[in-house]
A and B are shown apart, each in its own frame.
Chain A
Amino acid sequence: MLYTLIPFLPLVAFLVLGLGGSRIKDRAHLVAVPAVLLSCLLSIGAFIEVASGSVISVPLYAWLTSGTLDVRIGLYIDRLTAVMLLLVTIVSSLVHVYTIGYMHGEPGYARFFSYIALFTFSMLMLVLADNLLQLFIFWEAVGLCSYLLIGHWYERASACAAATKAFLVNRVGDFGFLLGLLLVWYSFGSLNYHDIFPAAHEAANQTINLLRPLGGIWEVSLFTLIGLLLFAGAIGKSAQVPLHIWLPDAMEGPTPISALIHAATMVTAGVFMVARLAPLYNLSPVAMQVIALVGAATMVAGATIALTQTDIKRVVAYSTVSQLGYMVMACGLGAYASGMYHLLTHGAFKALLFLGCGSVIVALHHEQDIRRMGGLKDKLPVTYWTFVVGSLALAGFPLTAGFFSKDDLLVAAWMSGPLGQVLALLGLLTALMTAFYSFRLVFVTFWGPSHVDPHHVEHIHEPSRTITVPLIILAALSILTGYLGIPSFLEPVFSTGGEHSGEHGAAGLGIMIAATVMGLAGIAGAYYVYVLNPHLPDRFAQQWESLYQGSLNKWYVDEAYDRAFVKPTLTAATELWKRVDIEVIDGAVNGVARGVAWGGWLLRLVQSGQTQHYALAMAGGIVVIVTMFMFF
């Protein structure tokens, strides 16, 4: 089937570049870019075919069959997958093109391309999976690619630390995911979506006794447990509170991967997973509530931290955390289509913002601190205007994609019930902060007097066309994706029988207006604070010292983890190393060696070389033996 090529073209590119990268070197893009572009075209083809109402299913091969465990690798394209395919391949293609300019002349050029090709393959296989195990395998594979790419500049200690952190933090969530996977298999005897989903309804009221091994009784709804365990994976992958800490650090990696992996695609895998498994999640109101609350907490936490960060990429990273919170919250409230819609539009405008950051960073010779920027809008007009479009979309400015998706999301949240209404209000508040910090970034970076290092000022110029063209395309997409009717396109996937009426009514209109007002107020506020009264931010910082410090220090989550987990682990490991490794294990090994040497030394004395000593031993031996025979 032709669509099989969608994931496998990037795989071929990866293999070619991975095996022959040292020869291909600076021509690596000639391999990777066409492969990804082609798979992008095929994805559009698949999208059109799926849009006509069909579902594409391509069985590839039986990977392993053992007893009742039967795992087949296959591709499954329905409307949900098709949307993700479009997002992944389009953003990936643009990032590939962007990389040509951004990574130009880097020693790891071919390596970088091979990794992003591998990532594209893994991500595509993840969304195309037709069973949970395949999803999990590629879930881990994208995590691996993320690790490799964050640590792309591996000679930098901070990059290595960030890569390790991302990997370890994800591992925490993935452990839950794996347990959830086992529980699904234990309960249904299958991991295929088309086996699980129909069976799920019949098992809706099953409970599982968690304390059975200990002899106790603690009945928990099966689907609550499955849902929460699988969601633990999403918490890690989609950087939700409390495992959000890896995402901002992941900005140590090159900017293209921040756009591709840590904004548009991989981090949305958690949201995608929840949406994909909607039939399971719908059966557990408890799990759904937890998801909604985690999402809301992430949304607020991300936005409050983004307000004060000074590293341009970190602001955008925390904004990503916050927006992911929106999506997860929407899924938790049952508004999967809205969540996915926001995922799609966010993929476009956040990739745009990251690539814009990258463009600024390149122009300023790898300066990332916004306090040393300013006044860039005339020198980088393309970057500036595309960045403004991205920020407008992020702030939910009317008629941009972000406006439609965020409104849709908040309205859906509001309609979902009392919890949803509270969270929708929180969402509105967050929208205000979102608009504020995104335009803070615009004003501080591009407006006002220049704080750029005087050495560089003269040399600031718009980067090459491979960088600006993707920006322009993404800017266009940041507006256009709002007009594609994604929610109604996705609705059939999630419909559980006419539950969603589609009639928003007066309350929906109110939310829409409120969200718009919030967005505009945020922008106006940022304009007032950062353009009209540039001394105000410092005043605020002094006035609300503790709040400011809390936000600036990311609410001390890293420090808390450091104290609660990292330090004790390191201390324990050091102690174990010193006590057990060095003293016990090494001591035992060396002790044996020393004992043997000492014993040998003792025995050596026996062998004197004096014939008479030997003769004495013989005579003594005979006496002993004869005595034994005689008396025993």
Chain B
Amino acid sequence: MTIPISYYLILSAIVFLTGIVGVLIRRNIIAILLSIELMLNATNINFVAFSEYFQDLGGQVFVFFALTVAAAEVAIGLAIIIALHRAKDSINIEEFNLLKW
């Protein structure tokens, strides 16, 4: 028996929301970065699910691209986090609030 597409979509939505909530409420920058990865992977689930549903490989190609970009992004993100940590001895996002008036 095949799993209906709505299951995938619901899963993806849950993962995406988890990611959003994580980005919004976590203080630890690494945790925020991980949450962003969750959001990206939620979209990847969607891509793959629709690829299967429409019988179109384009979706899976997108996933590869997304994974690649996500890997690069994490690399840069971690580098920034290290830089921030060097500057402030902390990776608590609330301490990085200089970007205002």
B93 adjacent to A609 (CB under 8 Å)? no
Is A546 interfacial (CB-CB < 8 Å)?
no
A611 adjacent to B20 (CB under 8 Å)? no
A611 adjacent to B100 (CB under 8 Å)? no
Alpha-carbon separation in the docked complex, A607 to B100 (Å)? 6
Whether A604 touches B101, Cβ cut-off 8 Å, given contacts A610-B93, A611-B96, A612-B93, is: yes
B99 adjacent to A611 (CB under 8 Å)? yes
B97 adjacent to A608 (CB under 8 Å)? yes
Interface size on B, residues (CB 8 A): 12
Alpha-carbon separation in the docked complex, A610 to B100 (Å)? 8
Encode contact with B along A590-615: 1 for CB under 8 Å, 0 otherwise. 00000000000000100111111001
B24 adjacent to A619 (CB under 8 Å)? yes
Is A62 interfacial (CB-CB < 8 Å)?
no
Least distance between A163 CB and chain B CB atoms (Å):
57
Is B40 interfacial (CB-CB < 8 Å)?
no
Least distance between A607 CB and chain B CB atoms (Å):
5
Least distance between B43 CB and chain A CB atoms (Å):
14
Whether A616 touches B100, Cβ cut-off 8 Å, given contacts A610-B94, A611-B93, is: no
Q: Which residues does chain A contribute within 8 Å of B99, judged by CB atoms?
A: 609, 611
Encode contact with A along B79-94: 1 for CB under 8 Å, 0 otherwise. 0000000000000011
Least distance between B48 CB and chain A CB atoms (Å):
22
Least distance between A244 CB and chain B CB atoms (Å):
69
Q: Which residues does chain B contribute within 8 Å of A611, judged by CB atoms?
A: 93, 96, 99
Whether A619 touches B100, Cβ cut-off 8 Å, given contacts A610-B93, A611-B93, A612-B93, is: no
Is B72 interfacial (CB-CB < 8 Å)?
no
Q: Which residues does chain B contribute within 8 Å of A609, judged by CB atoms?
A: 97-100
Q: Which residues does chain B contribute within 8 Å of A608, judged by CB atoms?
A: 97, 100
Q: Which residues does chain A contribute within 8 Å of B20, judged by CB atoms?
A: 619
Binding site secondary structure of chain A: helix
Alpha-carbon separation in the docked complex, A608 to B101 (Å)? 8
Least distance between A611 CB and chain B CB atoms (Å):
6
Alpha-carbon separation in the docked complex, A368 to B33 (Å)? 98
Is B45 interfacial (CB-CB < 8 Å)?
no
Is B23 interfacial (CB-CB < 8 Å)?
yes
Q: Which among B23, B98, B100, B101 is the interface contact of A612 at CB below 8 angstroms?
A: B23
Alpha-carbon separation in the docked complex, A615 to B101 (Å)? 17
Alpha-carbon separation in the docked complex, A609 to B20 (Å)? 19
A residues 573-632 in Cβ contact with B at 8 Å: 604, 607-612, 615-616, 619
Residue with the greatest number of chain B CB neighbours at <10 A, chosen from A607, A612, A615: A612
Q: Which among B23, B94, B98 is the interface contact of A615 at CB below 8 angstroms?
A: B23
Q: Which residues does chain A contribute within 8 Å of B100, judged by CB atoms?
A: 607-609
Alpha-carbon separation in the docked complex, A581 to B100 (Å)? 40
Q: Which residues does chain A contribute within 8 Å of B25, judged by CB atoms?
A: 612
Alpha-carbon separation in the docked complex, A260 to B24 (Å)? 92
Q: Which residues does chain B contribute within 8 Å of A616, judged by CB atoms?
A: 24
Q: Which residue of B lies closest to A614 (CB)?
A: B99
Q: Which residues does chain B contribute within 8 Å of A604, judged by CB atoms?
A: 101
A residues 186-238 in Cβ contact with B at 8 Å: none
Q: Which residues does chain A contribute within 8 Å of B97, judged by CB atoms?
A: 608-610
Encode contact with A along B8-38: 1 for CB under 8 Å, 0 otherwise. 0000000000001001110000000000000
Alpha-carbon separation in the docked complex, A604 to B25 (Å)? 22
Alpha-carbon separation in the docked complex, A616 to B24 (Å)? 6
Q: Which residue of A lies closest to B98 (CB)?
A: A609
Q: Which residue of B lies closest to A603 (CB)?
A: B101
Q: Which residue of B lies closest to A604 (CB)?
A: B101
Q: Which residues does chain B contribute within 8 Å of A612, judged by CB atoms?
A: 23-25, 93
Least distance between A27 CB and chain B CB atoms (Å):
68
Alpha-carbon separation in the docked complex, A608 to B93 (Å)? 13
Q: Which residues does chain A contribute within 8 Å of B101, judged by CB atoms?
A: 604, 607
Least distance between B38 CB and chain A CB atoms (Å):
14
Alpha-carbon separation in the docked complex, A20 to B1 (Å)? 111
23 A/B residue pairs, CB under 8 Å, sorted by A: A604-B101, A607-B100, A607-B101, A608-B97, A608-B100, A609-B97, A609-B98, A609-B99, A609-B100, A610-B93, A610-B94, A610-B97, A611-B93, A611-B96, A611-B99, A612-B23, A612-B24, A612-B25, A612-B93, A615-B23, A616-B24, A619-B20, A619-B24
**Extra pairs beyond A604-B101, A609-B100, A612-B93 (20, CB < 8 Å):** A607-B100, A607-B101, A608-B97, A608-B100, A609-B97, A609-B98, A609-B99, A610-B93, A610-B94, A610-B97, A611-B93, A611-B96, A611-B99, A612-B23, A612-B24, A612-B25, A615-B23, A615-B24, A619-B20, A619-B24
- Please give me the 8 A-B residue pairs with the lowest Cβ-Cβ distance, nearest first: A609-B100, A609-B97, A607-B100, A609-B99, A610-B97, A616-B24, A612-B24, A604-B101
Residues of B within 8 A of A (CB): 20, 23-25, 93-94, 96-101
